[in-house]
Amino acid sequence: MIRFHREGYKIILIASLIVGIGILLIERFIENNLLNKCLSMSLLIGYLLILQFFRNPRRKTNLNDQHILAPVDGKVVVIEQVEENEYFKDRRIQVSIFMSPVNVHVTRYAMSGTVQYSKYHPGKYLVAWHPKSSEENERTTVVIENETVGKILYRQIAGALAKRIVNYAKPSMQVVQGEDAGFIKFGSRVDLFLPLNAQIKVNLHDKVRGGEQVIATLD
């Protein structure tokens, strides 16, 4: 059975009403059979796209304090050492995952631990692969700490289409690896900032599954 994310309930309900009423109006007022079918099909295709965007499949997470999991579904677009200037203010390994509109957009906790920092930043809506999107776009920054890994930071980043980021992490919360951490509506990218001794287990352009695939380990 297909599950949908709670952030989509209102939009799905509104879309259902629009499609239902739209098809009734088309059947009543459009006499041309071909045009009637084309308009009805267009409404149904749009409705199916909304349903697939808000789907929330169950994931089997194997809890492991030494593993850092992919927080989202998507494609790995960045693996590099960078200076993280918001929280750590030192060098970290950045792993960035880009989500296309057809990916599942649920954000999941990459590891278990305590939320040490959570902050929302208003900003621009540059395309998600733009080099400056991590620092200039609308985004949220969350830091989680546990005894095995220490601290990691993940950043939800809005893109050109994303207009709302949902973040459930609050300071002092105890969170569990693989559980629901939020949602990015109609976008876009998540950046992970990991310790320099992390052993990266993915390559550029790999497609990853949130809540299941191991991004890095700390032995």
CB 107 within 8 A of CB 183: yes
For residue 144, list its beta bridge partners: 115, 152
How far apart, in whole angstroms, are the C-alpha atoms of residue 178 and residue 109?
5
Q: Which amino acid makes up residue 115?
A: V
Tokens in use for 65?
């304090």
CB 186 within 8 A of CB 163: yes
Three-class SS state of 12: helix
For residue 84, list its beta bridge partners: 90
Could you confirm whether 100 is annotated as catalytic? no
For residue 107, list its beta bridge partners: 182
How far apart, in whole angstroms, are the C-alpha atoms of residue 65 and residue 177?
9
* Catalytically annotated residue among 96, 112, 133, 188: 188
How far apart, in whole angstroms, are the C-alpha atoms of residue 68 and residue 211?
9
Catalytic residues: 188
